[in-house]
Chains A and B, each alone.
Chain A
């Protein structure tokens, strides 16, 4: 019996160790491969350099950094209000019969492979931007032009992709608000809507913030869909109709044919991505702590 338990404990320990070790190994590997370039090229030059031209050994990653930031921000601007609204609807307003249809549908969104999102964006969203949205914008700015492969297209598709994350976690947070709060508010003569906006959402805000941060993580890290939609032009964007390349997309597309120096530069891009996501996590956990106290 004793030996039996010991063996199980050891197996559990090994499994836990493998997970932790993987993180460590990946981190070490990325930094080992990428740091030399950052050192020789200069961190400042790498991060703020505007020209990404691997064949000329010019590795300015600013276009990709701006590309990732702009597509992610765009996705949040579209996806967060929509996701939270959807969560409120599902948790508080919709009758049970409606929830039974809507909720599995939203969950199904999470199961669609990202390349399918990319293809959908390529076949539907990109042409719509080119033929329907561009003329509207040209009325205000005659110089505007776009191929359709753009920040806007990427943001729209990413917004849909992060919806399940935001909707599910926010909905759970809203449902976890004690019924007593709702009851207390209604008993004071508040309407259902006032109760939602003034009591339920404030009480659920830490969960809602978590959902946004996780959605943001997904948007930053998404690769395949973004490659197909954003046009992959390593250029600092001037408008939402411009094509951009993202950090992830560039790594995925160029790694296959990259020479040694170029490859290291791509690893350095990976470091930036890594630091980016770490910062997101730190921001998330500190805001959570602050919110939790209030």
Chain B
């Protein structure tokens, strides 16, 4: 069990200036599993997700205490390399955010940044990544068309493909289907099931059914604290904490 931990979070505290957004968060994220983070708006689940690839560094006045260990290396340690971290820990955002470039260029962007120049190699990565994101069949004939011409659901899968193209170990997803229609949502959810064979996935979701459908583990956040983390089936059928039960049964205000 211990060997299967991909990310260890220990006593993590995060402050936005005076406001404390995360309080003593401890968590083990398992390798090749889908971990869902649930909780009401403003509970800190997205903030927590963004500590895992240091995206909070972009925000002025953020202070972080505690340890986040990825494969037992502290990602906030001085020697840890931000660029390598983000290469290993990919992220898919709430709003699909393809670059205003062609479909091909979007997927090839990451590999190019990381030094791959050969056209044949890039072609291969683009095809593999788009197949991995279940988008290849829909776009293979128009790779040179603008990515912004795709539908919202296709754009989000393109963003997943873009993320896969740099071959991360971990994929963070911040409410990846909240801007999508039901059919696109199902496609992305099915994709998660395939992806977890190769990747460790952490997903923030507002949608309780989604957490139940896609995740192996679920963490319930409230007011910056983790109330409980457990196997998803336990959280939904037999929560230990009263507050968790109130939230998942919708009796929470």
| B53 touching A194, Cβ below 8 Å | no
How would residues 31 to 62 of chain B score, 1 for a CB under 8 Å from any chain A CB and 0 otherwise?
A: 00000000000000000000001010010000
* B125 located at the interface, meaning its Cβ lies under 8 Å from any Cβ of chain A in the complex: no
* A188 located at the interface, meaning its Cβ lies under 8 Å from any Cβ of chain B in the complex: yes
* A281 located at the interface, meaning its Cβ lies under 8 Å from any Cβ of chain B in the complex: no
With A189-B87, A190-B113 as given contacts, are A180 and B166 in contact (CB-CB < 8 Å)? no
Say how far A188's CB is from chain B's closest CB, in angstroms. 4
| B93 touching A186, Cβ below 8 Å | no
Contacts of A294 in B (CB 8 A): 146
* A198 located at the interface, meaning its Cβ lies under 8 Å from any Cβ of chain B in the complex: yes
- B114 interface neighbour in A178, A181, A187, A189, Cβ under 8 Å: A189
| B146 touching A187, Cβ below 8 Å | no
**B-facing residues in A129-147 (Cβ within 8 Å):** none
- A189 interface neighbour in B99, B100, B101, B110, Cβ under 8 Å: B110
Contacts of B146 in A (CB 8 A): 294
| B58 touching A180, Cβ below 8 Å | no
| B162 touching A181, Cβ below 8 Å | no
| B97 touching A183, Cβ below 8 Å | yes
Say how far B46's CB is from chain A's closest CB, in angstroms. 13
How would residues 165 to 182 of chain A score, 1 for a CB under 8 Å from any chain B CB and 0 otherwise?
A: 000000000000010110
With A188-B162, A190-B113 as given contacts, are A183 and B58 in contact (CB-CB < 8 Å)? yes
* A259 located at the interface, meaning its Cβ lies under 8 Å from any Cβ of chain B in the complex: no
Say how far A192's CB is from chain B's closest CB, in angstroms. 10
* A113 located at the interface, meaning its Cβ lies under 8 Å from any Cβ of chain B in the complex: no
CA distance A194 to B146 in the complex (A): 21
* A20 located at the interface, meaning its Cβ lies under 8 Å from any Cβ of chain B in the complex: no
* A81 located at the interface, meaning its Cβ lies under 8 Å from any Cβ of chain B in the complex: no
How would residues 82 to 98 of chain B score, 1 for a CB under 8 Å from any chain A CB and 0 otherwise?
A: 01111100110101011
Closest to B53 in A: A187
* B163 located at the interface, meaning its Cβ lies under 8 Å from any Cβ of chain A in the complex: yes
Contacts of B163 in A (CB 8 A): 187-188
Interface residues of chain A: helix, strand, loop or mixed (majority) = helix
For chain B, the bracket of interface size reads 20 to 34
For chain A, the bracket of interface size reads 10 to 19
Contacts of A202 in B (CB 8 A): 100-101
* A284 located at the interface, meaning its Cβ lies under 8 Å from any Cβ of chain B in the complex: no
Closest to A177 in B: B100
CA distance A189 to B55 in the complex (A): 11
Closest to A199 in B: B99
| A188 touching B86, Cβ below 8 Å | yes
* A185 located at the interface, meaning its Cβ lies under 8 Å from any Cβ of chain B in the complex: yes
How would residues 150 to 167 of chain B score, 1 for a CB under 8 Å from any chain A CB and 0 otherwise?
A: 000000000100110010
Contacts of B83 in A (CB 8 A): 189-191
CA distance A190 to B163 in the complex (A): 12
**B-facing residues in A178-222 (Cβ within 8 Å):** 178, 180-181, 183-191, 194, 198-199, 202-203
* B109 located at the interface, meaning its Cβ lies under 8 Å from any Cβ of chain A in the complex: yes
Contacts of B97 in A (CB 8 A): 178, 180-181, 183-184
| A184 touching B99, Cβ below 8 Å | yes
A selection of 30 A-B contacts at a CB cut-off of 8 Å is A180-B93, A181-B99, A181-B100, A183-B97, A184-B93, A184-B99, A184-B159, A185-B109, A186-B55, A186-B58, A186-B86, A187-B53, A187-B55, A187-B90, A187-B91, A187-B93, A187-B163, A188-B86, A188-B90, A188-B162, A188-B163, A189-B83, A189-B85, A189-B87, A189-B114, A190-B110, A194-B113, A198-B113, A199-B99, A199-B109
| Interface of A toward B, CB cutoff 8 Å | 178, 180-181, 183-191, 194, 198-199, 202-203, 294
| Interface of B toward A, CB cutoff 8 Å | 53, 55, 58, 83-87, 90-91, 93, 95, 97-101, 109-110, 113-114, 146, 159, 162-163, 166
Closest 7 CB pairs of A and B: A180-B97, A189-B87, A187-B91, A189-B86, A188-B110, A184-B97, A190-B113
5 more contacts with CB within 8 A, not counting A187-B90, A194-B113, are: A180-B97, A181-B99, A187-B93, A189-B114, A202-B101
